[in-house]
Amino acid sequence: MFDVGSVKEAEPDTGPAAVAFGPFRYDPVQHVVSDCHGPLRLGSRAVHLLSVLLEQPGRLFSRDELVASIWPHTVVEETTLRVHMSALRRALGDGVAGARYIANVQGRGYVFVGEARPFRAARPSETPDIPPPSDAPRLPPRLTRPIGRQHAIDQLVELLGRERLVTIVGAGGMGKTTVALAVADVLSRRFAEGIHLVDFSHLSDPALVTAELGHTLELIVPSDGSTAALESALNDKRLLLIFDNCEHVIDAVAALVHRLLHTCPGLHFLATSREPLDIEAEWLFKLPPLALPSPHEWLDLKDLLASPAIALFSERAQASCDSFCLTEALAPAVRQLCDRLDGIPLAIELAAARVDSLGVHELLRRLESAFELLTRGRRTALTRHRTLQAVMDWSYDLLSDNERLVLQRLSVFRGAFDLDGAVAVATCARLDPQRVIEGVLSLSAKSLIVLETADDLRVHRLLYITRLYAEKRLAESDDAPEVHRRHATFIVEGLQRTGRP
C-alpha cells in the first residue's frame, strides 16, 4: 500500500516501513510524524498530504490529485489545500536554515524534494509502549519559564474566568505569546474540551483567517470567509481559542471573533496583538515591561536578582556564556542596561546573547548601535523576532503614512512629552494639529508610544529602542533639520515661559 518510490526497501523482517527525512520520520501505521522530541502538532489532513507526497518522492502531484486523495467525496475551495500545505511546511520548518522538503511548482502542484530513506521501527522489546497521540491539536510545550510574569498570569486567569474575550496588548518582544501559553497551562482543566492555539503570524492574506481557524480545528471552511461551518461545529462546545499575532490581520480577526462570540456561547478567546481588536465585550490587558528597581534605590545582589528584568538578563547571559556571574562590579552596568532597554524581554535576551563576545560594559557603551549589535536571536524564533531591527520593521510597516511621520518626528524628544509638544514638533502643511493628535493616540494604541499618568497628568514617551529606530528613520528624511528646529524652538519657548535661563 505504501511505496516510497526510489527509496530502497527496508529489510523484510523489520515490520511496516516508516520513512525518515531530515530530523523527522513518518509512521504510515500510526499516521504520525515525529522528531526527536516526539510527535509533531499536525492535523490528520496535513499528515495525509505528507503521506501522499512520500509515496513517490520527486514526483509532482497536481492540486486535483491531492484534493481527490484527501477529500475524495467533498468539494473544497482552492485555498483549503493551500492552508493545510502551509501548516505542514511550517511544522517541518521547511525553508528555515536551509531545510527544504516540499516544493510548490506554481500553477502545477507540489513535490517532495527532500531525501527520503527507510526507517526501521523499533521492535516492542526495544522500547516501552507509547500510547498513540490524540488527534486533537496540542499546545506547543513551554521550553522556558516566564520570568517575572506570575502576577500577569494570575490576573489573566481571573479575567478569563468571568470574561469571554481578553486581548493581551503590548509592544513587539514584550512576551505576549509566552504569557498566553502560560495562562493556557493553568486553564487546561477548566476547558476540558480543549484549548487551541491559532497562530496568524505566517498569514499574509486576511481572507485566510477563517480558513486558518478551520485548519486548526480540523474543519473544512469555504474561502469566502463564511463562518457557517465553524458555527455549526462549535455552537455547543466549551473551548478556549488563543488567537496569536493578530495585528497584521486585525480587521479579519475582529470580525471573526465578533461573529463567534454571538453564535457560540461556550467559546472563550485569548488574543495577542500590538493593538486592540476594538470590538464589543473585549477586555484589554496591557502587558507591561519586566519590572526594574528604582535607579535611586540601593539593592544588594540578592535583591537585584529578584528584579524580573535583571533575573532574565542574568539567566540568558549564563545560558550563552557559562562564565558569566552577576557581581558587585557588574551590577550597576547590568542595571543600567536593563533600564535602557525598558525591561522589554526580547531586547534583554538579545543583549544577554552578546555578553560572551562584548562583555557587559562594552555592550552598554555601544547600546546606541543596538540595531547593529542585537542581531543574535534564536534561529527557531519568528523571523520578525530574531533581531531588534526585524521587530521594529514589522510594527513600522503596519503604520499609515501619517503615523510614520508622527513617530519619526517624536523621536526628537529624549524624555516625556505632552500633546502640545507633539503638535509643536510634528505639525506641518501635510499634518494639521488634529491629525498629529490622532497619530499620537493611534501610536499609543498600537504600543509604540507609552502613556504615563501621575496625579491626572498624562504624558507620552517613546521606549528607548523605539526612539532609536524612529530617529534613524527621521535622519533618512528630508525634513529632519526642520523638525529639530521646531523642537529647539519649543524647548526655548517653554524655558522662557517658566523664567528659566
How far is residue 256 CA from its own chain's centroid?
A: 20
Residue 309 has pLDDT above 70, yes or no: yes
Q: How long a stretch of residues is the chain?
A: 501
Find the mean pLDDT for residues 47-71.
Answer: 87
Average pLDDT over residues 141-160: 85
Which one, of 39, 37, 15, lies nearest residue 26 by Cα?
A: 39
The predicted structure's pLDDT at residue 217: 87
CATH 1.25.40.10 for domain 399-498, yes or no, is: no
What percent of the chain has pLDDT above 90? 39
More confident residue, 495 or 183: 183
Q: What is the pLDDT of residue 10?
A: 42
- The answer, yes or no, to whether residue 81 has pLDDT greater than 70, is yes
Residue 471's pLDDT is 93
Q: Quick one: pLDDT at residue 143?
A: 57
- 117 or 416: which carries more pLDDT confidence? 416
pLDDT at 130 over 50: no
| pLDDT tens by residue, 86-119 | 878 878 877 665 678 888 877 788 888 888 887 6
pLDDT value for 422: 95
Q: DSSP assignment, residue 399?
A: S
Tell me which residue of 64, 70, 63 sits closest to 45, measured CA to CA: 70
pLDDT of residue 374: 67
Encode pLDDT of 319-353 as tens digits.
888 888 888 899 899 999 999 898 999 999 988 98
pLDDT of the residue at 9: 43
All 3 cell numbers of residue 114? 527532500
Cβ atoms within 10 Å, residue 418: 13
pLDDT for 450-488, tens place per residue?
A: 988 867 788 999 999 899 999 999 999 999 999 999 999
How high is the pLDDT of residue 179? 95
User: What is the average per-residue pLDDT within 347-372?
Assistant: 86
Tens of pLDDT along 391-404? 888 889 999 999 99
pLDDT at residue 7, rounded to an integer:
44
Least confident of 269-273, 324-328, 435-439: 324-328
Q: What is the pTM of this model?
A: 0.70
Position 386 scores a pLDDT of 60
> Is the per-residue pLDDT at 136 higher than 80?
no
10 Å CB burial of residue 451 (0-12, 13-18, 19+) is: middle
**In the numeric block, which cell numbers belong to residue 311?**
533575573
Q: At what angle do helices 433-445 and 401-410 cross, to 10 degrees?
A: 90
Per-residue model confidence (pLDDT) at position 437: 96
- Main-chain phi, psi angles of 240, to 5 degrees: -110, 120
pLDDT at 140: 67
Residue 500, pLDDT score: 57
Cβ-based burial of 322 (10 A; exposed 0-12, middle 13-18, buried ≥19): exposed
Mean pLDDT, range 72-96, rounded to an integer: 76
Q: What confidence score (pLDDT) does residue 123 get? A: 43
pLDDT above 70: percentage of residues in the chain? 85
Lowest-confidence pick of 242-246, 305-309, 378-382, 445-449 = 378-382
CATH topology of domain 12-120: Arc Repressor Mutant, subunit A (1.10.10)
Q: CATH classification of 150-286 is 3.40.50.300, yes or no?
A: yes
Which one-letter DSSP state was computed for residue 105? E
Average pLDDT over residues 112-135: 54
Distance CA 455, CA 82 (A): 54
> How confident is residue 125, by pLDDT bands cut at 50, 70 and 90?
very low
Would you state the pLDDT for residue 114? 82
pLDDT at 1: 35
Give residue 16's pLDDT.
53
* Cβ neighbours of residue 106 closer than 8 Å, sequence gap 6 or more: none
How far apart are alpha carbons 395 and 376 in whole angstroms? 20
Place of cell 528597581: 293
Torsions phi, psi of 373, nearest 5? Answer: -85, -45
Instruction: Tell me, rounded to whole angstroms, the distance of Cα 392 from its chain centroid.
Output: 13
Confidence bin at 12 (pLDDT 50/70/90): very low
The pLDDT mean for the chain works out to 83
